[in-house]
Every structure is written in C-alpha cells, then in structure tokens.
Structure 1
Amino acid sequence: MDQPLPQLDRLFDYRIPDDLLDAVRPGCRVKVRFGRRKIGGYVIAVKRETDFDGKLLWISDLVSPQPVLTPEVARLARAVADRYAGTLADVLRLAVPERRKKVEEEPPRERLPVAAPTQHHWKRYIAGEAFLRALGAAKSPKTVWSALPGEDWPARLSETAATTAAAGRGAVLVVPDQDDLDRLDAALAAMLGEGRHVTLSAQMGPTKRYRAFLKAVRGEVRIVAGTRAAAFAPVPELGLVAIWDDGDESHVDRHAPYPHAREVLLTRAGLADAACLVGGHARTPQAQLLVETKWAVSMTASRDQIRSASPRIVPVGDESDLARDPSGSTARLPTVAWEAARAALAKRRAVLVQVPRRGYVPAVSCQRCRTRAACPHCSGPLRLMGARRSPVCGWCGRTAEGHRCRECGSNQVRAVVIGAERTAEEMAQAFPGAEVVESTGPNRLEAAPDGPAVVVATPGVEPPAPAGYGAVLLLDTWALLTRADLTASEEALRRWMNAVALARPDGTAVVVADGGLAVVQALLRWDPAWFASRELAERAELGFPPAMKMAALTGSNGAPEKLAADLPPDLGVEAIGPIPVDEHNERLLLRIRRRDGAALAGALARASAERAAAKADPVRVQIDPRAIA
C-alpha cells in the first residue's frame, strides 16, 4: 500500500470482486479501503487462500490492469527497504513512476533484435575480453573496472549492454547525471540503432518517463540506461547491472530511505544472479572491498597501457617547487602550469582549469589578522561578487557596506577561496587573445570550444574537448584535501582523475599539490586501486565505513538517544555523540560490525515503527550516511 508509516510496513490481504477476477494480476495498481479512506497499492500476489483470521475487505477499484511492479523488482524493493531500515512504500515510490493513462493506451511494439558488438577495445584491460565473453555466454561475472584516461566509457558500457542483450538477457546501466546520460544515450543509439533501448531520469518529464518505463516492463526493450532511479528499472531476464563513477554523490537518493544506486544494483545482482560492473576512472573503498572480499574481480590496464594513454602529470606544490618558481611562492598559477597552458594554446588546443568553487570570491578574511569576515547582521560568511564591490553575506544576502573586522578593525579583506569567475578573469589576463569560458553547475557547457580556448570549470561539470585538452590545470587543491570529511582525499582523487581523463595522451596535467601526498601519488601513477586499498585499510583500522556499518539518527534533542536506547543491548552497537545540528536538533551515530549491519537495520526499523505507533517525535534514520561529521 502507498502508506509509508513504519508500523504498517507489511502486506495486507484483500478479497477480489468477481467482476475483477480476470483483470487483477500481480503488479497492477488498485485502490483499497484502509480505515476511513481509500489508498493506492500494488497487488503482490493472487492466492486462493489466506492466513488472515479476520474479515477481509474487498478491493475497491482497479486503477489499471497494466502490471507495473514485477516480482523481481518487488523482491528488490523489499530487500532495499530492509537494508536501509525503511519502508516498502518509500522504496516503491522511487521504483515506479507516476501513472499516465494515455501512455498505457498506446499499443506495445515488437522487440527489435540486438547484434553482439566487437570486443577489441576491451583488450587493453586485464580480464576485459574474458568479461565480455562471459556476458555473451549468459554468465554472471562481477568486476570492478578502472578506466584508462581518455577512455570512451559510454561506448564501453554500450558494448557490455549489447553483448548481454544479444545473449537474450537484459541490462541496466546507471550514471550520475543527465549530461552523462545524454552521452550514454547517444553511444547506445549509435551502437544498437534506434528503438532498442530507453532512458529513465527525473528530467524527462512524467509522460516520457512513464512511456520509457512501460517499454521496459512490457519487454519491448532489453536495455535501460538512466540516473539513480533506473536502478529499479523492470528489465525482464536481467543479465547485467552496471554503474559508472559510483563515488559521485548524485547516486545517493535524497528521499527516504536514502539508498545508494551502487548498493541497489549490488543487491539486485545477487537476487537476480546477474553480472555486475562497477566502473570509473577512480575507485571507491566500497568498490575495493568487493575485490578484496573476492565478490568481484579487479579489471585494470597494464602499466604499458596506462603510460601510453595517460598525459604527462606534473605535481607542483612542495616547498622546493615553490622556492624554484620564478613567479614567486605565492603565485596561484605556477610557472610550470602557465607554460603547459601556453604550449597547448600555441598548438590550438583547449586548456581545462579546474577550481573547487564557483562564484567570484566565495569566502574572504581580514587582510591584517586573517579572521574570517562575517556579516554584522546574521554572522554569515561574507563573499565578493565582483571586483571593486562591497562584500555580500552568503546567508542573508545583505551588502556589508563599510565592513570592518570585528577583531582588529581593519577594512581590508583578502580572498580565502578563489571562485571560477575570478579565476576566469585571471586566465584572461594571463593568456590574452585566448577565448576564456566558464562551466559551472548553473551554466554547464556541453563541449569545450574548438581551438585555442581556456575552460574554467568546477568539479563534475568539465565539458569534453573535441580532440581532448592539451593541458589540464588543477588549482586550489587544498580546498578539496582539507575538507572536514571522511571522504576528502577519496573525493579529491575522483575529481582530479575525471578532469585529467579529458586530456590528450600527449598533453600535460599540472596538479598544484605536494607530490609526496599519497593521493597525489595515486594520480601521478594512475593507480586508483592502490589508493582505494590504502583508504580501506585505514578505515578498517579506525573503524569507519565500509569496514564497519554506521547509521545516523537525526531528530529533536533527545529523540535519537531514546531511539538508540530501544535497540537490543546484545546487538553490540557503539554510540558516537550526539552532536548538535542546530538549536533544536541533534545527530547520533551508531557503529557496528559489518556482518551485523542487517541486524542493526532491522532493529532500527522495528524501533522506528514502535515510536511511530506511540506518536513520538520522528527520527530520521540513514544507513551508511555519506557524511559522517
């Protein structure tokens, strides 16, 4: 039933009226009486008998005879709800899109055949051809793939899906965002031809999304590509699930129970005995854990292949580098970076400059005493919106005319963080005559200009260049590395690798960071598996995910502690906190051995149901929260 209350998270039996006996089927939508009102629900099974001893109510209405919830997806939704201490109703809201009656009336089309593609591109990877052969033989291999720089990953994913479909099974491919999906959609269309796959994403609109969903559930196509919600796509005879760049935070759903698309696909691969591919330029500790526990095989390229595909990567940032730099130790653009960009522009090649923040100057401090500049009205952080303009508060939006430091009284400010807009101004001054463009979240470029141009981009929205970038400059790296976050180094390497992967093999990448850092060494050697293994070992030693399971309880002051107190004492849960979220709310972390994660999720679900039944203050439960602090 479409009822998210945790105390009602179970199946209910209803009688089928005689006039609906032939139309009601497992997976279709119905309306039923519950209390004093009618609510929607799905038919999970049709049986002749029931174990219920009381009086059964009748199904009120048949919303649609079209089955939209397949048995395989129903099992998956139940497993995901249990894993994340959520309810089945919440997961089904993520899995099944809103109904569009007119779309259901459209006649189904015949499924078109899919031909197996060539596999020669996978020769560059150890076990690559073996993985494709296994897919072609309708087997279910599991692998973690570290892609080479410059790899045409949409084409490679398309090849795995086509191989699976040619063997008579279905494939689900999940990518982080719409731009990645557009690239994958184009690659699938080019390889398969029209009408052999569909895409699913929230940006499609309800009608297009439901039409694509019905094509999958009716078996008109075997291949579905999409963003995180596509992990639940009802593909018949599932043979492959694949996810690209699983470290991207876009893979985590913003709605309860907050599942990660990677975990949904891993669960699905286990339930459906399907092949699994976790791919990316970087590698997460979660993916590395799959390799080290022998659940998956690591698929990487040889060192010779890495050397031939990688650009020259140069670190600039330790004390000796800065001391030798003729531009001075305070230069934001070291001489090595400037020369690499100038050489690329001279060859009429584009240059990519990655900066961590958008805006002009997102944060400022006092020039004299370095105290962070704060708004006199709300104490929010001040920022600069342009040259020769007064600071503006990032919280309340007020302009701080005549700003003076609270500590020393100085009216001079200095930049703490340089944004993309200010960086673009600096690049225009450094390279006169070159076109300088920005690519940020609100204004993302689809592709870099053809020819000599400087593209200033924030992480995740770097546009590909037609022939690859001649130079890639990674600036202000300290802003990523010094974040108070468990995944700071992991996320920094992921963002750097995704940017460097856009460079030409004969290009140059300059990372303004100390070359002695382990994360920089991983970039220089293009060895994400080594760094992921190192991170995993450190987290195991410290007792952090993914070596341990964690849950975050967030609610009004005292509520998370009360919920934790209701957990069985023999569970072995360690409580960390609580820490204040704001004046009225707090957050409590629970830590437990990984093998007991399912028991913790079950106990939290039962405790949440008891609190809901008692009408106590609600507590938000997040299993494996991305942010620990």
Structure 2
Amino acid sequence: MSSENEKSDEPEQLALIRETVRRAKVPRAKPRTWRGAALAKELPVARVVVNKGALHLDQFFDYAVPEELDEAARPGVRVRVRFGAGAHQVRGGRREGGRLIDGFLVERRAESDYSGPLAALADVVSPEPVLGPELLGLARAVADRYAGSLADVLQLAVPPRNATAERKPSPAPLPPPGPPEPGSWTRYERGPAFLDSLARGGAPRAVWNALPGPYWAQEIARAVAATLASGRGALVVVPDGRAAGRVDAALTEVLGEGRHALLTAEAGPEKRYAQWLAARRGAVRAVVGTRAAMFAPVRDLGLVVIWDDGDGSHSEPHAPQPHAREVLLLRAAHDRCAFLLGSTSCTVEAAQLVESGWARPLDAGREQVRRAAPLIRTVGDGELARDEAARAARLPSLAWQTVREGLKTGPVLVQVPRRGYVPRLACERCRTPARCRHCAGPLEAPEQQELRCGWCGRGAPDWHCAECGSARLRAQVVGARRTAEELGRAFPAVPVRTSGRDHVLDSVPGRPALVVSTPGAEPVAEGGYAAALLLDGWAMLGRPDLRAGEEALRRWIDAASLVRGQAEGGTVVVVAEPTLRPVQALVRWDPVGHAQRELAERAELGFPPVSRMAAVTGPAEAVEGFLAAAGLPADAEVLGPVPLPVVRPGGPRRPGDPPQGEQWERALVRVPPGSGAALAASLKQARAGRLARGGGDPVRIRVDPPDIG
C-alpha cells in the first residue's frame, strides 16, 4: 500500500519541486532605484519646466524623484536639475552629464512618456510652492500669444527667491470689509452701479475715462474695496512707483492697514518677495504694483485694473515683451472677473474694447467735464511769428501773461518735451542740423560748456555750416534745464524747480513756484497747479510714428489734469498749431472722440489694433530666409522689409536696436482679426526650428510692436 501511495504521490511531489525551482529562478521584487538610490514609492516622476528660454526647448522634461526628496518635491516648488548633454541618457554606468540649472516642478506622475532612463532631481530649492496651476496656465497663454517660451514668461511672473522673506510667516487674512460708499464715483453716470455690481460679486467690464484732478486713486481704491466686500481679490497695475504710491495711500485710507500688498522695485527684494508671498498664501486679497504685478497670484481674483494703459512703462522690455493691458485682458477672460481700464486720456485699444462691445464706457457728462477741466488756450505758429516776446525768448506773450497771473495764487507747471540744456542745434541762417564732422552725430551745447558731439563726445569749437558756411547756431528744441534758466531770469523772485529723468519730484507745495518738467515726470501740486504751459508741441506731434498724435494728447492731458478746474481759475496754454486734431481734442477735452476717429482710420488702413501684427528683424538675408520658411497663415500679408537706422558707436540705444554699426532690416507681418494665434504659432515654430538647427544670423520677433511708423 505504501509503495502504491508513494507512486500516486510522485506527480504531486514533482509538481511541488518544479514550482520551488521556478520560484527560485524568479528574482525577488526590489524597490525602484536610480543609480543605486531608492525612488519615491508613489508618483516617482516629476515633470519640470527648466529655466531655459530657448524656443526649441519650450516643453516639460521628466525627472526621477529620489526617495529623500519625495516629501519636499511637491507641485509648484523650485527645483534644481541637471540639464544638457547626457542628463537624460544615463546608460551602462556612464557618468552623469549636463549642468545644474533651476526649474519649477509642475506635476508628479506615475509614469514618464520618455522611454529611456531618467535623470533624478538634484535638489528641491525650497518647499514653498510658488507656481500654482492658475499662474502656470496664464504664463502658458502669454507665451503662446507673444510667440515666446514658457520659461521666459515665468522669469517675469515669479520673483527671485529670498530665503529670509520665505521663512517669515505671513499675517492671518482679515475678514472682508463692508461695501464702500460711492464717494466721487457719483460724478460718473454709471459709477455707483459699477461699484454695486462689484460688491454683489458681478464681473462688469468698463473703459473708464477719468475726470481730471486728484481723485482717480481714491476711485480705484473704492472699486477694490467693493470687490473685497464680495469675498474676492483685486489686482491694480499702474505705470510707475509714484502712481503706485498714490493708490497705496488711497487703499490704506479706504481699507485700513494689512489688507493689500504693494509690489514695486523700490521696495527691495526681501520686502517685495514677502509681499508677493502674502498674496500667494492668501494673507492679502488686494495687490497694487507696477508692470511686474500683472502676474501677481491673487486668490479668487474678482477685479483687474490697469491705469493709464498708453504709458510705455506697461510694455515689458524683456522677452517675450508682453503688455500689461493684454495680460490683464487674458486674466479677465480666463478667470471671468471684472475688468477696469482707466485713464484721463484714451488709447485706440481702449476705444476698440468699447467699439467691439467687450467693455462698456464709464465716463462723466459734459457738464462735469467742464467743471473739472481747466481752460485750454492755444498759440499757433502764425501767432508766434508775429509775437516779439516769442521770437526773443521762445515764450509767447499769452504764456508770459498766464504765468504772471498763475503765480499770484499757486505754482505753475511748464512741460518741455526734451530734457537737458540745448539738446538739438541747427544753423541759424539755413536751419541745417549741426552735425559732427567725425561721426555725423548731433552737436550739443551743455550748460556753460563748449560745443561737442552727443555721440562720440568730440569738441567742435570751430564748427561752421556745411551748406551755407555760417558759424552761428540756434536751438531747434530747447531742453528743460535751459527753459528753467530762462524762466528764472524772467521771474527772479520766484523759485524754479525741475523734474526729469535724473531727478523726478513726487509732489510740490502749493506755494507760488515755477515747476519745469519733462513729459511723464510732472509732480503733483498741493491743491493743484494754478496754470500750465505746454511748450514745443510740434516736437511731440512731429515724430514719425503712427501713435504720435495719440501720445502727444495723452502727455498733454496728463499734465493738464494736474491743473485746477476752470471754475477755480485754472488755465493751460499749449504752444502748437490749433487746427491739428490732437490740439482740438485737448481744447474740447475729448480724448475719447479722438481715439474713436483714430480707430476708424486704422480700420480703413488695416493697422493695429484692428489687425494683429508682428515685426521680424535681423540681417537682410536672415529675414528673407526666415519669412520664406515660416509657413505663415494664408491670410498673412508681409509689409517690407525696410532698412533700420544704423546705430553708430557711442550713440543712444533703445531695446530692440541692432548691434552697433550693423545694417538690419525689419518686416511687418499683418493678419486680420482671428488669425493672431495662428501667426504667433507659425513664427514661434519657425524660430524654434531655426534655433534647433543652429541657424546663423539672429532673427528677432516682436508680436504687437509698439512702433510701426
């Protein structure tokens, strides 16, 4: 029986032996490793955007997450990774390649799309999450609109880390305030209704033509307070630190301390980053700041505000060069929040928002405008030619009389288009511009110094006109310092103060004084200026630029808005031809009408903002080859190319100018509405391909170029 049982059990024993041998041959499960180090057990792949702005690298890269970094490697944190040759190609024990660069971890995943071995995260710089999904989505949208890279936009959107500010806890958030009183918003027909809509959680969109005077900052503060009363956040972007300071003071007065953050470069890196973190953590729900604040991570965004969108400071000079107005429009559309574009003037882009029906006008009646605006008087070229005082001292008799009357009751503002002493000189006899014989640069006469070249600095004591031989010079445009000197001699008992690029005054007392300023640097006077002179209007209107008239009117209205109203005796004298459209718009105080007429003309010509446009700049052969290979949309139209002025050694340079001494060309590519995204995508793809192939001469792309003249 036993032998039979053994035989009957033999197949089962053999089966057990075979199973034991099979299991012995199968290796035991081991933890996932990278070069001997254990990886995170869950979601071991980190998707990273690296700090490389090259267009052909505009994508996410996958990295392995070591176990020791598992807890700190959360989405949104700053990381350090190896990037470059060999960083993602680790095989056969080969030494790890690439160099350490910064990046942001945007996602943790279970698997990678990359089939080869992954390099590991080198380090987590900080456990503070600074890149949320909302900010990442906004940055991606901005990069696509401006044919740029995500990394470049993130450099603009996320400020540099400051460890000291990061370690400090943000204050606890305060409860929402109550709805504010309308205050001076009652001067506008739809003003109280706009505030009421914000307080009830609505999302109204308005283009606000603000009345002249000092109340605009308070009105912005009340709009922010109404938004906060609904439990949402608000963001205000202004052109400079002075405007930010005024809105900051108004917000403190309306909301109290601790409810808003101020983001300006003047605050310093630690304080600015601390304020940015306070908004990111939700400790404050309102932010006011300059251009970089357009990306501020405000929680539950309910209102975005941009003040004076025509100011050039709103245009970012760094790649991909976005404009704050367009970024806030993207945020308003994406977050479905309220939008307020305010200015004492009106740009063509603002007029288009109203014309298209996307936004509603928010303005005052004509009776309110007449009460708030000063009296505008003009002096034309014909009157200057007949005016003995104007020929002798460049100021017409009407201007002298206005200054004398104004100084009896307060300060007088004098706006001069150029800084310096005598920026431009010409032959007195034939009006030929005075040029350097060595480099053809403009000759200048600094205060109490000899004649010299503004480019190469060489002196020209024996200059004479190459056309007529005369050795006598005259000023084409007199600078702010020279004007201040002339006025000081004319009014010896009156203090003269200057405000310009080198020294900008924020405010001046309400006592009688002469304040000479360049456009954009005008200080605020306590109680308002008694009068203002706007000199050399032809210099502002004569610029070869499509926006010359719009910009001149904006500068004039900004200065005139600081003058007391007509009922208080405020008077403004503008020295410009009275029949010109911008001058007539100033006299009538009708910037909206001027912008509407400009928009109608742009529509006939197919110019922005009715169309979308991009500028392609570079050496002639590079521009031609780029456009040929770009794959532009079928409805695209190429204008040009045309040669750009050569930047001479020592000459002034602007952002986007070609290298000194090189001849570059620029072509404009125009598409109708609706094709802007396709244009940006084609230009971005063409430039990325050129960079990936190691293209030769550089080609620069600028979507929505500010100057197309």
Q: Would you call these one fold, judging by a TM-score over 0.5?
A: yes
Q: Take 1:204 and 1:612, find their aligned partners in 2: how far apart are those partners?
A: 38
**Residue of structure 2 aligned with 1:440, choices 490, 497, 500:** 500
Q: How does 1:104-123 map to 2 (within 5 A)?
A: 104-115=166-177, 116-123=179-186
Which residue number in structure 1 is paired with residue 442 of structure 2? 381
Which residue number in structure 1 is paired with residue 398 of structure 2? 336
**Residue of structure 2 aligned with 1:490, choices 533, 550, 563:** 550
Checking the alignment, whether the CA contact within 8 Å between 2:633 and 2:682 is kept in structure 1 is no
Greater CA drift, 605-614 or 9-18: 9-18
Which residue number in structure 1 is paired with residue 76 of structure 2? 27
Checking the alignment, whether the CA contact within 8 Å between 1:384 and 1:392 is kept in structure 2 is yes
In the alignment, is residue 613 of structure 1 matched against residue 675 of structure 2? no
Question: What CA deviation, in whole Å up to 9, does each residue of 1:540-589 have, x standing for no partner?
Answer: 11221111111111223321221111122553222222222333422222
In the alignment, is residue 459 of structure 1 matched against residue 539 of structure 2? no
Checking the alignment, whether the CA contact within 8 Å between 2:436 and 2:442 is kept in structure 1 is yes
In the alignment, is residue 593 of structure 1 matched against residue 672 of structure 2? yes
Letter in 1 for 2:287: V
Q: How many angstroms does 1:56 deviate by? A: 3.4
3-state SS of 2:100 partner: strand
3-state SS of 2:341 partner: strand
Which residue number in structure 1 is paired with residue 463 of structure 2? 403
Checking the alignment, whether the CA contact within 8 Å between 1:551 and 1:591 is kept in structure 2 is yes
Letter in 1 for 2:210: A
Checking the alignment, whether the CA contact within 8 Å between 1:558 and 1:586 is kept in structure 2 is no
Q: How many angstroms does 1:537 deviate by? A: 0.9
Q: How many angstroms does 1:360 deviate by? A: 0.9
Q: How does 1:311-330 map to 2 (within 5 A)?
A: 311-317=374-380, 319=382, 321-322=383-384, 325=387, 327=389
Q: Pick closer, same or farther for the CA change 1:224–1:294 going to 2, 3 Å.
A: same
**Residue of structure 2 aligned with 1:427, choices 476, 487, 490:** 487
**Residue of structure 2 aligned with 1:164, choices 224, 227, 236:** 227
Q: Take 2:165 and 2:388, find their aligned partners in 1: how far apart are those partners?
A: 66
Q: How many angstroms does 1:34 deviate by? A: 2.2
Q: Take 2:687 and 2:540, find their aligned partners in 1: how far apart are those partners?
A: 36
Residue identity over aligned pairs, in percent, reads: 52
Question: What CA deviation, in whole Å up to 9, does each residue of 1:222-250 have, x standing for no partner?
Answer: 11111110000011111111111100001
**Residue of structure 2 aligned with 1:17, choices 66, 69, 80:** 66
Checking the alignment, whether the CA contact within 8 Å between 2:633 and 2:679 is kept in structure 1 is no
Letter in 2 for 1:622: R
Q: How does 1:53-72 map to 2 (within 5 A)?
A: 53-72=115-134
State the structure with more CA Rg: 2
3-state SS of 1:626 partner: coil
Question: What CA deviation, in whole Å up to 9, does each residue of 1:452-497 have, x standing for no partner?
Answer: 1011110000001101001011110000000011110000000000
3-state SS of 2:667 partner: strand
Q: Take 2:392 and 2:683, find their aligned partners in 1: how far apart are those partners?
A: 52
Q: How does 1:145-224 map to 2 (within 5 A)?
A: 145-224=208-287
Checking the alignment, whether the CA contact within 8 Å between 1:612 and 1:618 is kept in structure 2 is no
Q: Take 1:324 and 1:90, find their aligned partners in 2: how far apart are those partners?
A: 57
Q: Take 2:274 and 2:621, find their aligned partners in 1: how far apart are those partners?
A: 47
Greater CA drift, 235-244 or 539-548: 539-548
**Residue of structure 2 aligned with 1:535, choices 570, 582, 598:** 598
Letter in 1 for 2:489: Q
Checking the alignment, whether the CA contact within 8 Å between 1:198 and 1:223 is kept in structure 2 is yes
Q: Take 1:299 and 1:569, find their aligned partners in 2: how far apart are those partners?
A: 39
In the alignment, is residue 552 of structure 1 matched against residue 612 of structure 2? no
Letter in 1 for 2:702: Q
Q: How many angstroms does 1:627 deviate by? A: 1.3
Q: Take 2:492 and 2:519, find their aligned partners in 1: how far apart are those partners?
A: 25
In the alignment, is residue 470 of structure 1 matched against residue 530 of structure 2? yes
3-state SS of 1:225 partner: strand
**Residue of structure 1 aligned with 2:579, choices 516, 530, 553:** 516
Q: Take 1:571 and 1:356, find their aligned partners in 2: how far apart are those partners?
A: 43
Which gives a bigger RCO, structure 1 or 2 (Cα 8 Å, sep 6+)?
A: 1
Letter in 2 for 1:410: S
Q: Take 2:591 and 2:109, find their aligned partners in 1: how far apart are those partners?
A: 52
Q: How many angstroms does 1:49 deviate by? A: 4.2
Q: How does 1:219-368 map to 2 (within 5 A)?
A: 219-317=282-380, 319=382, 321-322=383-384, 325=387, 327=389, 332-347=394-409, 349-368=410-429
Letter in 2 for 1:355: V
Could you state the TM-score of these two structures normalised by the residue count of structure 2? 0.86
Q: How many angstroms does 1:373 deviate by? A: 0.3
In the alignment, is residue 579 of structure 1 matched against residue 632 of structure 2? no
Q: How many angstroms does 1:530 deviate by? A: 0.6
Q: Pick closer, same or farther for the CA change 1:318–1:405 going to 2, 3 Å.
A: closer
Which residue number in structure 1 is paired with residue 33 of structure 2? none
Checking the alignment, whether the CA contact within 8 Å between 1:353 and 1:454 is kept in structure 2 is yes
Q: Take 1:290 and 1:13, find their aligned partners in 2: how far apart are those partners?
A: 42
3-state SS of 1:503 partner: coil
Q: Take 2:194 and 2:107, find their aligned partners in 1: how far apart are those partners?
A: 37
Greater CA drift, 499-508 or 158-167: 158-167
Letter in 2 for 1:78: R
Q: How many angstroms does 1:408 deviate by? A: 2.1
In the alignment, is residue 45 of structure 1 matched against residue 107 of structure 2? yes
3-state SS of 1:622 partner: strand
Q: Take 1:323 and 1:461, find their aligned partners in 2: how far apart are those partners?
A: 30
- Give the aligned CA root-mean-square deviation in angstroms: 1.7
- Gaps of at least 5 residues in structure 2 are 1-49, 85-97, 647-661
Question: What CA deviation, in whole Å up to 9, does each residue of 1:386-407 have, x standing for no partner?
Answer: 25x4322111122211211122
Greater CA drift, 145-154 or 560-569: 560-569
Q: Pick closer, same or farther for the CA change 1:153–1:336 going to 2, 3 Å.
A: same
Q: Take 2:543 and 2:385, find their aligned partners in 1: how far apart are those partners?
A: 26
Q: Pick closer, same or farther for the CA change 1:603–1:328 going to 2, 3 Å.
A: closer
Q: How many angstroms does 1:323 deviate by? A: 7.0
The count of aligned residue pairs is 626
Q: Pick closer, same or farther for the CA change 1:328–1:374 going to 2, 3 Å.
A: closer
Q: Take 1:403 and 1:19, find their aligned partners in 2: how far apart are those partners?
A: 75
Question: What CA deviation, in whole Å up to 9, does each residue of 1:316-368 have, x standing for no partner?
Answer: 2153x457757467762222222121111122x11001010011110001112
Q: How many angstroms does 1:62 deviate by? A: 1.2
3-state SS of 1:539 partner: helix
Q: Take 1:472 and 1:261, find their aligned partners in 2: how far apart are those partners?
A: 31
Q: How many angstroms does 1:44 deviate by? A: 1.6
Q: Take 1:419 and 1:578, find their aligned partners in 2: how far apart are those partners?
A: 35
Letter in 2 for 1:193: G
Which residue number in structure 2 is paired with residue 82 of structure 1? 144
Q: How many angstroms does 1:3 deviate by? A: 1.1
Q: Pick closer, same or farther for the CA change 1:172–1:307 going to 2, 3 Å.
A: same
Q: Pick closer, same or farther for the CA change 1:234–1:132 going to 2, 3 Å.
A: same
Checking the alignment, whether the CA contact within 8 Å between 1:571 and 1:600 is kept in structure 2 is no
Q: Pick closer, same or farther for the CA change 1:326–1:108 going to 2, 3 Å.
A: closer
In the alignment, is residue 504 of structure 1 matched against residue 564 of structure 2? yes
Q: Take 1:274 and 1:471, find their aligned partners in 2: how far apart are those partners?
A: 41
Q: Take 1:328 and 1:285, find their aligned partners in 2: how far apart are those partners?
A: 35
Q: How many angstroms does 1:426 deviate by? A: 1.9
Which residue number in structure 2 is paired with residue 624 of structure 1? 704
Checking the alignment, whether the CA contact within 8 Å between 2:390 and 2:397 is kept in structure 1 is no
Question: What CA deviation, in whole Å up to 9, does each residue of 1:171-222 have, x standing for no partner?
Answer: 1111111121122222222222222111112333222221111111111111
- Gaps of at least 5 residues in structure 1 are none
